[in-house]
Structure formats: structure tokens, C-alpha cells
Amino acid sequence: MTGASSGIGEATARRLDADGWRTIVVARRGDRLEGLAGQLRDAHPLALDLTAEDAPARVRERVEQEGALHLLVNNAGAAWRGRFAETGFEHVRRHMELNFDAAARLTEALLPTLRRSAPSSIVNVSSTAARVSRPKSGAYSVSKFALTAWTDSLHLEEKEHGVHVGMVLPGFIATEGFPQRELRENARTRWLVSTPERVAEAILDAGPGGKPERYVPRIYWLAAAARVLAPGLIRRATGGGATTPATGADERD
């Protein structure tokens, strides 16, 4: 479970632990991981930066100590807002490095173990921003678009090996990095915001549950459908603001 030190990752680690899973929780903030592991029944912390060159090998080494791997959740991510004209390609590269490259590199390292452990599953935590992009969040959307497309392809490739690959696309989720206070305080928009615990349920559906993908809140699939059926409408609707439905945080897990 990556990105486990707060928000969606922490909620999912707690849910897995409650359901009897033995978990390895991964994130940069070692103190937060130690605290979480101390509260759970059978969780083991591994503090590292997933963008580091040796990160996949370090995770693989720890996983191989267990002998099997039945679920990989690629959840670690972050979002930093900014217009392309001001932030340039470096802003895109920064997002891709963590939100896509790190997940792909880690999956490459663990795929042999997942195949040996089959039936097993991978869940990539994407975002509704992978379907509908907004101002000042283009770099974030690019990274999540890539993760989403890769997830569909990987599922088709790994199905024959007994590895299911699912995806979760959260919308506005109240987390440490994105408290969504403005939306939650307005009675007309409160329904737009969900919780990390709901995302944790969706992750179980998209992993061991075998579902191809889940939106959280579920109604957000309408925005994805409208993007295909009525792109002009979506452009007008999203052009007036820069709030980003996101799974990451300005301060990375």
C-alpha cells in the first residue's frame, strides 16, 4: 500500500488490516508510518521515496520476505497547481515522475511476485481529473490520464496470468492535502465531497472484488461520460474555476 501515511492510503491500510490482511505500508514520512503501524494488527512500515532510483528494488526485497503478494495498491501521488505558460514542462515532468513513473516502476518490480501469487490484483488510484481536466491542473491530469490508459492495457495483458488490474477514480475527497472545506461548508455542494473511507471500499471492489473501475462518489461517472458526449459543455462548465479533484496532496505522502 503506497502513499499510506495519510488520507486514502491510511484509510485503505486500516480497512485492509481490519479485514485480516497482512500489509506493508509505504510512504516517505516514516514517523507517520510507524504511528499507523503501531495502531494496526499486522502492518509493517517501509519509509522511502518512490521516485528514488532504488525504491522498486527495496520494496521488492521487503515483499519477497513475505513469500507472496496478493494485492498492490499504487496510491502515492501529489498535485501542484499552475498554468503551463508559467510552470512549463518541468511542472509536467514533476507530476509524471511520481503519479505515473513511480507506479509503473514499482509494478514492474513486483509483477513477477504477483504472477506467482495469483490470483492477485493491482489497483491504480487515478482521479476524475484523468477524465476531465481543469485550468491550472493540466500537469496533474496528464499524469493521471497516463495512469488510466496504462491500467486498461495492463489488465488486458495480465488477465491470462491471473493478475486482475483495477482502477479507482476519486473526485473531491476530504484529505489532509485537500480538505475541500469550501465545498463541505456549502449545503449545495456538500454532496460533491466524499471520504477516504469510501475510496478504501472502492479499492477493495477494484482489487479483490474484480471490478474494472470505480468512481468515488459514483455519480462522477456522469462527468466522464459528458466529456465524450458533450465536450463543449464540459469545457464551458470547467472553464470558470481551478479546483482539482485529486488523490494526492500539495505535500507528498
Q: Are 162 and 170 in contact (CB under 8 A)?
A: no
Helix, strand, or coil (residue 47): strand
Q: Could you say which of 140, 150, 215, 220 is catalytic?
A: 140
Q: Are 134 and 241 in contact (CB under 8 A)?
A: yes
The cell numbers describing 139, all together, are: 500537469
What's the full length of the chain, in residues? 253
The amino acid that residue 94 corresponds to is R
User: Which has the closest alpha carbon to 206: 156, 171, 166?
Assistant: 166
Determine the Cα–Cα distance for residues 131 and 111; give it in Å rounded to an integer: 27
Determine the Cα–Cα distance for residues 142 and 130; give it in Å rounded to an integer: 7
Q: Are 26 and 76 in contact (CB under 8 A)?
A: yes
Catalytic annotation present for 140: yes
Q: What is the DSSP string of 94-146?
A: HHHIIIIIHHHHHHHHHHHHHHHT-SEEEEEE--GGGTS--TT-HHHHHHHHH
CA 87 → CA 29, 136, 140, 191, 239, distances in Å?
27, 10, 12, 33, 19
- Tell me the catalytic residues: 140
